[in-house]
Amino acid sequence: MKNIVVAGNGMVGYKFCEKLLARHNEGLTDGGQFSLTVFGEEPRPAYDRVHLSAYFSGTSADALAMAPASWYADNGIDLRTSQCITHIDREAKTVTTHTGQVVAYDTLVMATGSAPFVPPVPGVQKDGIFVYRTIEDLEAMLAWGKRATRAVVIGGGLLGLEAAKAALDMGLETHVVEFAPRLMPRQLDEAGGAMLRQKMEELGIRIHLSKNTAEFEGYDRVTGLRFADGSVLEADMVVVSAGIKPRDELARQSGLAVGSRGGILVNDLLQTSDPDIYAIGECALHNSMIYGLVAPGYDMADIVATQLLTSTSAKTFAGFDMSTKLKLIGVDVASFGDPFCEQIPHRTIVWEDRLAGVYKRLNITEDGKHLLGGILVGDAEAYNMLLQTSKNRMVLPPTPEDMLLPTRKGDTSSAGAGVMALPDDATVCSCEAITKGTICTAVTEKDATNILAIKKCTKAGTGCGGCVPMLNDLITETLKAQGKIVRKVLCEHFDLTRQELYDLVRINGQKTYAEVLAQYGKGCGCEVCKPAVASVLASVHNQLVARQAVIQDTNDKYLANIQRGGTYSVMPRIAGGEITADKLIVLGEVAKKYDLYCKITGGQRIDLFGARVDQLPYIWEELTDAGFESGHAYGKSLRTVKSCVGSTWCRYGVQDSVAFAIELENRYKGLRSPHKLKSGVSGCARECAEAQSKDFGIIATEKGWNLYVCGNGGVTPRHAQLLATDIDRETCIRYLDRFLMFYVKTAEPLQRTAPWLDKLEGGMAYLKSVVIDDVLGMNGQFEQEMQHVIDTYQCEWKSVVDDEELRSQYRHFVNAGDTDETLAFVSNGRGQKQPAQW
Amino acid sequence: MVTEFETPETLSWHIAAPVSAFPADGGACVKIGERQIAVFNFSHTNEWYACQNMCPHKMQMILSRGLTGDQNGEPKVACPYHKKTFSLCTGENLNGDDYRIETYPVRVEAGMVYIGL
């Protein structure tokens, strides 16, 4: 029995344990049996430091854990937390902890990691100055941050910008101070750093470059930073993130060889100067390099684990590619290969779009054949492909600049097919060192045909997740290569696309989910196909969704929007945003009676929050009695048609935008669609209704109306595109009927109009030819179907209010009249309520 | 370690509600003592399942309002909030998260639904 002792339980220390067990289970056993003891100086087992900032947005410490404490016990690992090894006796081969525990080792693996480097600036010991490394550091920052207003982060590198995001999440005014003349000096060149700075400043983070902190001001609490140039920056909280220094003090004290600037010296086998002691991760100095990233640390962990289990010679560590891609506060940043090429003759291709905040640089060999490295800021979609191209020295196309240009809308073929050109031994997932060959084999031989199965089968994509898009491409392309047709089918229960199902239901007239499942599906259905079929049934027949509540998605099920804490919000229709004083009073009275939180929404409506499920029918009854109807805020259907005040009041208006908005909202209300639909009508070119950010938007002209389609706000804002110019009211409605019905019939589930148009072959030109020139010859049918929807409209709330059977479904318990006693509210400090913490 | 209350001898059956109180192929919440239990009826396979009503992800009393279905034949429920899905047989999370829920046996007799706790 060999005693293996691990000093340090960070990410790499944990990965070593995981790899040791995995390799052992794979049959590497000729190294004999072993026992494993792990010492960690922190109170909790290893956690994911890379995603520490998630702790600020509410992720719990437990969720960050690499594995729960029980995992170690279940696998026979003796994990001792809050135990710091203070002495190694290399003669006796024992380690001693600060509490006096002594454990003998045959092999000692040092994974002591690194500590934040804190420059010796006068005043650095003052209260309010933090480092950013452990969960305890974050807890201290959070506690202090509650009383702080302005945070300054020292260090504009990777970790510093992560820390800045944390400060921003805490609601603090955030500044970043960097010694170098640009951000992320180790990864980015001047232009890339400038682009990142622009993006950071847009987000409200102020950047100070070429600043050398000379002193921290303040008596015992920090009040500001004084720089070497004499300038002062006030601050009541400081986070120092100026780099790392390897934790080599134990090694140093035990007489192991260390580098002059820190780090435990290791050879290619990762052995220290004592062959029974290994060092891995950020504490190891290999070939004059400290690797401050997770992927090389994991690679080292695997190499040592493999060596310890085999008597024959094993893999060695041959350095590691320091390419990185990350999302910093929502901004993609990547650098790969040799990003600067300061020593190598090369040619450079640069693409810069300051408006969109995108900077890309490629370094290619002088003969233009190979990619040496590069930098991506603002758009790193091509990262995986570029990284593989440079790593594998693949021959570049004759026009390498194509690799930098933004992919044209609707053109998704090129990147996808490109992955198949990679050699089989190309590493696709660098965290877990999984090659393209392994992925493709998993697809062809183990039937892992979706991302979840690939993760389970190969572990690829389970680390940083950066390779997931490429894994998806590999799955799709491998299946295609096998001659399997890749269609966007609904789910495992329906081997049909939404469009195919829509046509079948329209032709054959099924009315219920059970009929559709029996005819075209298998199994019991799921949370994906049930709402999708519900939407198709509603679009085709326009029946009440409440009659099939069990297949509706969360909000459609109760005709209201579920909110934190388990209550719902109620939003009546206020067409075009126009409302009388009397109706405003009704809303106020209802809100008061049921103690509802009131908020004006972005769609010119009033939302009433905090209604219990049993209160919903009573609230609707009062609202519908006063002439209100459902606003469909819960549905994948038309939400609002927003309007500006238009020519009736506005001195600039050229058409009556309010009247037209109300007419359109009342025309299309209740239309069920693949996703929500939003609209706006503006009375002049000033566009106060923001119609160009809507699924369909109309802007008044002197001669009539301009019709725009396929825009949206949200995560990926898109401007709507012009479909027709200077058309009259009737033509506009006719085009809209056709456009909407065409979308409803052909889109995928939960696909909004803009991505639908992207996928539509022929794009806008084709859409025009369908809607205006009727190339499909379908417009008569589209208009007829729309007329059916309009003619069969009924208020969904009123239908429930008037139906005792439907009404009876609105209660929390079916065997008791009680309400849910876990519902709890607190004051929001502004005279209204809010849900208690969730 | 085997805990005692899991053995059939000490399992006690509690009346939940009549079969008619539960929607076909859907779920509903019942109160048994102070506990909230989500009960699901799969009319397709004529099976019944019960589990805790609280979703362990955000600690909300909500699972009874979730969409039901199956994953490769394994019956499951999806939380209405963030679509975390759980096996109704083992209680395990099916998205690969560490959460799990308690499941309970269900018996239907003479039009009445009973839960074993």
Boundary-marking domain end, from A194, A223, A242:
A242
CB B95 within 8 A of CB B55: no
Contacts 24+ apart (CB under 8 A), A444-452: A444/A478, A444/A482, A448/A475, A449/A475, A449/A479, A450/A475, A451/A475, A452/B95, A452/B96
Q: Specify the DSSP element, H or E, that contains A555.
A: helix A554-558
Closest residue of chain B to A835, computed from CA coordinates = B60
Residue A158 shares a structural domain with residue A86: no
What is the reported pLDDT for A57? 67
Per-residue pLDDT tens over the stretch A200-213:
998 889 999 999 99
Interface test with B, best of A554, A555, A557, A564 (most B CBs within 10 A): A554
CB-CB under 8 Å, B23 with A549: yes
Please spell the DSSP secondary structure of chain B, one letter per residue. Answer: ---GGGSGGG--EEEEEEGGGS-TTSEEEEEETTEEEEEEEETTTTEEEEEESEETTTTEE-GGGSEEEEETTEEEEE-TTT--EEETTT-BBSSS-S-B--EE-EEEETTEEEEE-
Ramachandran category for residue A55: left, alpha or beta (phi over 0 → left; psi -120 to 50 → alpha): alpha
What b/e string do you get for A354-382 counting C-beta neighbours within 10 Å, with b at 16 or more? eeebbbbbbbbbeeeebbbbbbbbbbbeb
Per-residue DSSP letter, A509: -
CB-nearest partner of A527 from B26, B67, B98: B67
Average pLDDT, integer, range A610-629: 97
Residue A269 shares a structural domain with residue A141: no
CB-CB under 8 Å, B60 with A565: yes
CB A214 within 8 A of CB A226: yes
Instruction: Give the CA distances from residue A39 to residues A278, A477, A802, in Å, rounded to whole numbers and listed in that order.
Output: 15, 45, 67
Report whether pLDDT(B1) > 50: no
Q: Whose CA is closest to A109, among A398, A302, A260? A: A302
Rounded to a whole number, what is the distance in Å from the CA of B5 to chain A's nearest CA? 23
CB-nearest partner of A815 from B30, B65, B75: B30
A531 in contact with chain B, both atoms CB, cutoff 8 A: yes
What is the number of alpha carbons within 13 Å of residue A569 lying toward its C-beta?
A: 22
Tokens (6 digits) for A769: 């030819």
- Per the structure, the count of domains in chain A is 3
Per-residue DSSP letter, A810: -
Per-residue pLDDT tens over the stretch A569-600:
999 999 999 999 999 999 999 999 999 999 99
Residue A651 shares a structural domain with residue A744: yes
Tokens (6 digits) for A639: 């939400």
What is the reported pLDDT for A411? 42
Per-residue DSSP letter, A442: H
Per-residue pLDDT tens over the stretch B19-74:
999 999 999 999 999 899 999 999 888 999 999 999 999 899 999 999 999 999 99
What is the reported pLDDT for A414? 43
Written as one letter, the residue type at A626 is A
CB-CB under 8 Å, B21 with A524: no
Average pLDDT, integer, range A813-818: 92
Report whether pLDDT(A556) > 50: yes
**Where is average pLDDT lowest: A269-278, A398-407, A538-547, A710-719?**
A398-407
Q: Specify the DSSP element, H or E, that contains A678.
A: strand A677-682
pLDDT bin (cut points 50, 70, 90) of residue A406 is low
Average pLDDT, integer, range A19-25: 88
Average pLDDT, integer, range A165-174: 89
CA A310, A313, A317, A318 torsion-angle sign: negative
Written as one letter, the residue type at A118 is V
End-to-end CA distance of chain A: 49
Rounded to a whole number, what is the distance in Å from the CA of A821 to chain B's nearest CA? 10
Name chain B contacts of A452, Cβ cutoff 8 Å: 95-96
Boundary-marking domain end, from A242, A258, A285:
A242
Average pLDDT, integer, range A245-254: 94
Per-residue pLDDT tens over the stretch A759-812:
888 889 999 999 999 988 999 999 999 999 999 999 999 999 999 999 999 999
Report whether pLDDT(A98) > 50: yes
Residue A751 shares a structural domain with residue A770: yes
Name chain A contacts of B30, Cβ cutoff 8 Å: 813-816
CB-CB under 8 Å, A822 with B22: no
Boundary-marking domain end, from A188, A213, A242:
A242
Rounded to a whole number, what is the distance in Å from the CA of B49 to chain A's nearest CA? 14
Report whether pLDDT(A311) > 80: no
Check which CATH number belongs to the domain holding A571 and give it. 3.30.413.10
Q: Quick check: ipTM above 0.95?
A: no
Average pLDDT, integer, range A667-674: 95
Residue A30 shares a structural domain with residue A83: yes
Residue A629 shares a structural domain with residue A680: yes
Q: How are beta strands A2-7 and A34-39 bridged, if at all?
A: parallel
A452 in contact with chain B, both atoms CB, cutoff 8 A: yes
The CB density around residue A345, as the number of other CB atoms within 10 Å, is: 8
- Give A 535-574 residues with CB within 8 A of chain B: 549-551, 553-554, 557-558, 562, 564-566
Q: Is residue A500 part of a domain?
A: no
CB-nearest partner of B85 from A527, A562, A838: A527
In this structure, the dihedral spanned by the alpha carbons of residues A479, A482, A483 and A489, taken in order and rounded to 10 degrees, is -20
Average pLDDT, integer, range A383-402: 81
**Where is average pLDDT lowest: A73-82, A98-107, A400-409, A529-538?**
A400-409
The CB density around residue B61, as the number of other CB atoms within 10 Å, is: 20
| Gap between the Cα atoms of A612 and A628, Å rounded | 20
What residue segments make up the domains of chain B, in order of their start? 20-116
CB-nearest partner of A814 from B15, B30, B73: B30
Mean pLDDT over each residue of chain A, to the nearest integer: 90
Average pLDDT, integer, range A141-170: 90
CB-CB under 8 Å, B78 with A527: yes
A597 in contact with chain B, both atoms CB, cutoff 8 A: no
| Gap between the Cα atoms of A440 and A476, Å rounded | 10
User: Higher-confidence residue: A26 or A75?
Assistant: A75
Closest residue of chain B to A531, computed from CA coordinates = B67
Per-residue pLDDT tens over the stretch A688-710:
999 999 999 999 999 999 999 99
Q: Specify the DSSP element, H or E, that contains A141.
A: helix A135-145
**Where is average pLDDT lowest: A312-326, A367-381, A676-690, B70-84?**
A312-326
What is the reported pLDDT for A425? 82
Residue A720 shares a structural domain with residue A576: yes
CB-CB under 8 Å, A524 with B68: yes
Residue A229 shares a structural domain with residue A263: no
pLDDT bin (cut points 50, 70, 90) of residue A393 is confident
End-to-end CA distance of chain B: 19
Residue A230 shares a structural domain with residue A303: no
pLDDT bin (cut points 50, 70, 90) of residue A427 is confident
Closest residue of chain A to B24, computed from CA coordinates = A550
A743 in contact with chain B, both atoms CB, cutoff 8 A: no
pLDDT bin (cut points 50, 70, 90) of residue A38 is very high
Residue A212 shares a structural domain with residue A298: no
CB-nearest partner of B72 from A456, A492, A550: A492
Report whether pLDDT(A304) > 90: yes
User: Higher-confidence residue: A380 or A105?
Assistant: A105
Per-residue pLDDT tens over the stretch A475-526:
888 888 877 766 778 899 998 999 999 999 988 999 999 999 999 999 999 9
Report whether pLDDT(B3) > 50: no
| Gap between the Cα atoms of A778 and A772, Å rounded | 11
Check which CATH number belongs to the domain holding A144 and give it. 3.50.50.60
Report whether pLDDT(B5) > 50: no
Candidate CATH numbers 3.20.20.80, 2.102.10.10, 2.160.10.10, 1.10.260.40; the one for domain B20-116: 2.102.10.10
Q: Which domain holds residue A180?
A: 118-242
Q: Is residue A778 part of a domain?
A: yes
| Gap between the Cα atoms of A475 and A466, Å rounded | 16
